[in-house]
Amino acid sequence: MKIAVLGTGYVGLVSSAVFAEIGHQVIGLDIDKSKISQLKKGRVPIYEPGLETLLQKHLNSGRLIFTTDYAQAIKDAELIFICVGTPPKPDGSYDSKYVYSAAKSIAGHLTQYAVIVIKSTVPPSTTNEVRKIIQANTSVAFDLASTPEFLREGSAVNDALHPARIILGVESSKAETWLRKAHHQLSAPILVTTPASAQLIKYASNAMLATKISFINAMAILCDKIGADIKAVTRGLGLDPRIGQSFLNAGLGYGGSCFPKDTWALIAYAKSLGYDFNFLKQVDQVNNDQIDYFISKIKSAYPDGIKGKVLTILGLAFKPNTDDQREARSTILINKLKKLGVIIHAYDPVIKTEFSDPYMALINADGLVLVTEWQEFNDLNFTRIKRSMKQPIIFDGRNFFNPGKLRKLKFQYFGIGRQ
């Protein structure tokens, strides 16, 4: 099929490459000229494993091209996927301006019937607004649909090629048929529903995952209070097949471009409907408090105060295998520590800092603070690290290291909910 993908960020770029991989003719569009000029040369402006190879494969196969020209992208497209950003506004509600602007641009260039699909994460009220904008700017017939995206940064290509489910929110049988055809190569269960339900499925999924994380973080605080082990509690809890193990790792809490903003957007959307989503506010609150809780642990390790201490942050990305720092826990933590007078050294495997490796970043440090559990941190030589640090203290914000092993090396170890 002929597919236009609007917005070539994490979702749009991966979707473009994957639609090309499964046999479609794809045109990716962005308003960011420098991004498009890099993509045309086969360079991926983000870090996402496997993406550059797939991109180059389909630039070569001719199934994927890029443009900044709406007329070129829209004129032959049968399916138009809106994948633009939906960042939060200061009040937590989502900023619709990119989606509405894309809708207006589509309408201005529509020459034949197309199915316009909102893939960006948006509240259900958006569909009608988008419809109004398009109808006000064209007389060409179209259908609206919604196919929320569930890929995870860091494994986005694999997730998009092997999704756990495909949600088709449609208003006509023609849109359903075309969207089924677009996804026919993917072997995942397909759920056909309305756009509103599809959009709520997306928000509910992220809110549920955020809830699991905040729940286990609250349990970890109880573990700290009585000397219990959150790892054992989680293992035991997760052996219940009704609960499972996933998303129950106590730590610094969730960040990233989705969980925080989608949680806030759902709270704001509920409010607009007259419902106080107090439950989700608490999930968000626990997540915010977790940083302060961790800082209180850091403070407790320095009886002479933390002002002037050098702390080395390992991991800046909001999670491993990405370079995305949106709402990263590292940023919030670092800002708070700096306000307390801490001197920050930082290292991340893909985000450039003044240090070229973790060992350099740890020289003369008063503490190591693990924020993002990149696998390479598991292979660190702690004997070497201990020799170069000023004080051998480790704050493990992801319960990632083996405390027994570190204590044997005479490190002081602080995890979350574990001794």
Distances (CA, A) of 237 to 217, 245, 247: 14, 8, 12
308: left (phi over 0), alpha (psi -120 to 50) or beta: left
CA angle (296 as vertex; 293, 302 as ends), nearest 5: 155
State yes or no: residue 7 binds ligand NAD (CB under 6 A).
Answer: yes
Site for ligand NAD in 25-44 (CB under 6 A): 29-32, 35
- Which of 25, 86, 211, 249 forms a contact with ligand NAD (CB under 6 A)? 86
CB of 123 to ligand NAD, least distance (A): 11
Rounded-to-integer distance, Cα 99 and Cα 103, Å: 6
State the CB neighbour count (10 A cutoff) for residue 320.
20
- Give residues 54-73 in contact with ligand NAD (rule: CB under 6 A): none
Is-contact 66 72, C-beta < 8 A? Answer: no
Give yes or no for residue 320 binding ligand NAD (CB under 6 A).
no
Nearer to ligand NAD by Cβ, of 76 and 159: the residue is 159
Query: DSSP letter at 169?
Result: E
Which residues 6+ apart lie within 8 Å of 347 measured at CB? Answer: 312, 313, 314, 353, 355, 357, 358, 360, 361
380 and 323 in contact (C-beta within 8 Å)? no
Q: Which one, 137 or 391, has the nearer CB to ligand NAD? A: 137
Which one from 179, 213, 216, 258 is the annotated catalytic residue?
Answer: 258
The interface region with ligand NAD, picked from 1-9, 173-181, 302-310, 359-367 by CB under 6 A, is 1-9
| Nearest distance, CB of residue 151 and ligand NAD, angstroms | 5
Largest CA distance in the chain: 73
- With CB under 6 A as the contact rule, which of the stretches 79-87, 235-243, 273-281, 348-356 interacts with ligand NAD? 79-87
**Which of 6, 220, 317, 385: binder of ligand NAD (CB under 6 A)?**
6
Closer residue to ligand NAD, CB minimum distance, 85 or 403: 85
What is the crossing angle of helices 195-226 and 259-272, to 10°?
120
State in angstroms the smallest separation of the CB of 295 from ligand NAD. 28
DSSP string, 33-87: HHHHHHHHTT--SS--TTHHHHHHHHHHHTSEEEES-HHHHHTT-SEEEE----P
x-marked contacts with ligand NAD along 333-372 as a string, rule CB under 6 A: ----------------------------------------
- The interface with ligand NAD within residues 252-271 (CB under 6 A) comprises 257-258
Catalytic: 223? no
Letters for 111-150 (x = contact with ligand NAD by CB under 6 A, - = none) are ---------xx---------------------------x-
The CA distance from 381 to 276, in Å, is 50
| Beta carbon of residue 141, minimum distance to ligand NAD (angstroms, whole number) | 22
CA distance 393 to 410: 9
| Contact pattern for ligand NAD over residues 212 through 251, marking x by CB under 6 A | ----------------------------------------
Strands, sheet with 190-193, edge to edge from the N-terminal-most edge strand? 64-67, 25-29, 2-6, 79-82, 114-118, 142-146, 166-170, 190-193
**Which sequence positions are flagged as catalytic?**
258
Which residues form the interface with ligand NAD (CB under 6 A)? 6-12, 29-32, 35, 83-86, 98, 101-102, 105, 120-121, 149, 151, 153, 257-258
